[in-house]
Amino acid sequence: MNKLKRTLLKFSSLCILLISLCGCWDVKDINHRTMPVVLGITSENDGYKVYLQIAEPVGDTLVTNVVIGEGKTLNHVIDNISADMESRIDLLHVKVIVVDHSLAEKGLKDLISSFMRSRDVSSKALMATTKGDMNEFFEGMKEDTAPIGTIPLDYFEKNAGWNPQIALTRIWKVYQSIHSHTQDTAIPIIQLGETTMIDQVGSAIIRTGKVVEEINSDETLLYNALWENSTQGMIEVLDEASVMILGNSVDYDSKFTNDQANLTANLNLNVMVLETKGDPSKSEINKQLKALLQNRFDKMIEKLQTSEADVLGTGRYFRNKMSPSELKQWRSKYYPDLNFTLNIHVDIQNEGNLKTLTN
């Protein structure tokens, strides 16, 4: 009897040990994992062609390699690439995803849903699109990448090359816009530059997962300002002066009466005068800056309402004023007729070294 008890005790202990080991069966040593920083995706023969920009340390520098693969699905491509490499591909550290513009026009819903479902790629990864040839784009990145960083990652870093004319949009935000009745989003359009590494040519407007419109870099600045993203440091050139934005804020007031949506935005800008032509007064500079931004806004909102793309998220201010059935018709029925008024308030806080400005 005692022998049977000892046997059962040993068997139970062995089972417990086996259970405790089961969670680590698929662990890969970090030295046996390859972690791409930039992921490029384009369509190819009813499937995907994937580009992986991999930065590998060699001595005191980073050497950038580009690995290319094809397959029916993204996971299929990654498995094929991993099978030909001595280490496992780990996409969790991908920071930037560059999608071919034609693929974005066809629709990103399946791709974005795959990212969110599998969680192989971080939902915080930034998204961009390019109109040029993807092969040329990544070959250019491979040839021109500096030994101390990776491009286009540095291009989107706020402590590096980012500026307020670039839309910073992450995977989770694109996913949110796909499933939202009242909010769309924008992703930057980039291409190889002639004298610089990358040119930013504007932003692609994503509605329900597809590119439906574009806005230029100046309009993207206004887009960032109306989303209360910082536009600090941006320089605006006027007819008689140039000013730099020091800070910005915005507040909204919405009304919904008789099936008519009305929205007023008060945009507050603090600016500094950098240089002038002639002897313009503060009021003249103020007037010119307001006119410049108002003209941009009028052109941008006309394009957005025509394409029924609520990239400014105006519909979120009516969620507590409309029924669920009305919100489902926001883009098609109410948004195109939205009365959107922008009031711009400019405060010239600093005249730089120019003390001759008058009121």
Q: Which of 120-124, 159-163, 238-242, 261-265 has the highest mean pLDDT?
A: 261-265
* Cα 29 to Cα 336: distance, rounded to the nearest angstrom: 54
160 and 240 housed in the same domain: no
303 and 242 housed in the same domain: yes
155 and 100 housed in the same domain: yes
Which pLDDT tens digit goes with each residue over 49-77? 999 888 776 666 667 788 888 888 888 88
Q: What is the mean pLDDT of residues 291-304?
A: 95
Confidence of residue 132 (pLDDT cuts 50, 70, 90): confident
Residues paired with 271 in a beta bridge: 245, 348
Whether pLDDT at 34 is above 70: yes
Q: Output the average pLDDT for the chain.
A: 83
Q: Which two tokens stand for residue 50?
A: 């994937």
168 and 309 housed in the same domain: no
Q: Domain of 244: which CATH number?
A: 3.30.300.210
The per-residue pLDDT for 137 is 86
Residue 173 inside a domain? The answer is yes
Confidence of residue 18 (pLDDT cuts 50, 70, 90): low
For residue 153, give the 3-state DSSP assignment: helix
Residue 69 inside a domain? The answer is yes
CA neighbor of 51 nearest in space, from 107, 5, 97: 97
Residue 106 inside a domain? The answer is yes
Confidence of residue 345 (pLDDT cuts 50, 70, 90): very high
209 and 224 housed in the same domain: no
- CA 334, chain centre distance (Å): 27
Residue 103 inside a domain? The answer is yes
Confidence of residue 20 (pLDDT cuts 50, 70, 90): low
The per-residue pLDDT for 144 is 53
Residue 124 inside a domain? The answer is yes
Whether pLDDT at 11 is above 80: no
Residue 52 inside a domain? The answer is yes
The per-residue pLDDT for 60 is 67
The per-residue pLDDT for 31 is 56
261 and 120 housed in the same domain: no
Q: What is the mean pLDDT of residues 173-178?
A: 94
Q: What is the mean pLDDT of residues 117-133?
A: 89
Which residue, of 190, 215, 240, is where some domain finishes?
215
CA neighbor of 152 nearest in space, from 124, 188, 186: 188
Confidence of residue 161 (pLDDT cuts 50, 70, 90): low
* Cα 62 to Cα 147: distance, rounded to the nearest angstrom: 5
Q: Which of 36-45, 112-121, 303-312 has the highest mean pLDDT?
A: 303-312
The tally of domains found in the chain comes to 2
224 and 200 housed in the same domain: no
Confidence of residue 260 (pLDDT cuts 50, 70, 90): very high
Which pLDDT tens digit goes with each residue over 181-232? 999 999 999 888 777 777 888 999 999 999 999 999 999 999 999 998 877 7
209 and 282 housed in the same domain: no
The per-residue pLDDT for 26 is 53
Residue 16 inside a domain? The answer is no
Pairing state between β 185-192 and 198-207: antiparallel
* Cα 115 to Cα 123: distance, rounded to the nearest angstrom: 7
**Residue 136 CB neighbour total at 10 angstroms:** 12
The per-residue pLDDT for 41 is 93
Residue 126 inside a domain? The answer is yes
Whether pLDDT at 98 is above 70: yes
296's enclosing H/E stretch is: helix 282-306
198 and 278 housed in the same domain: no
190 and 220 housed in the same domain: no
Range of the domain at 153: 29-215
Whether pLDDT at 340 is above 80: yes
Q: What is the mean pLDDT of residues 113-140?
A: 88
Which residue, of 215, 235, 259, is where some domain finishes?
215
% of the chain residues with pLDDT over 70: 82
* Cα 94 to Cα 38: distance, rounded to the nearest angstrom: 6
* Cα 116 to Cα 175: distance, rounded to the nearest angstrom: 8
The per-residue pLDDT for 1 is 54
187 and 251 housed in the same domain: no
Which has more confidence, 307 or 74? 307
Which residue, of 215, 231, 263, is where some domain finishes?
215
184 and 263 housed in the same domain: no
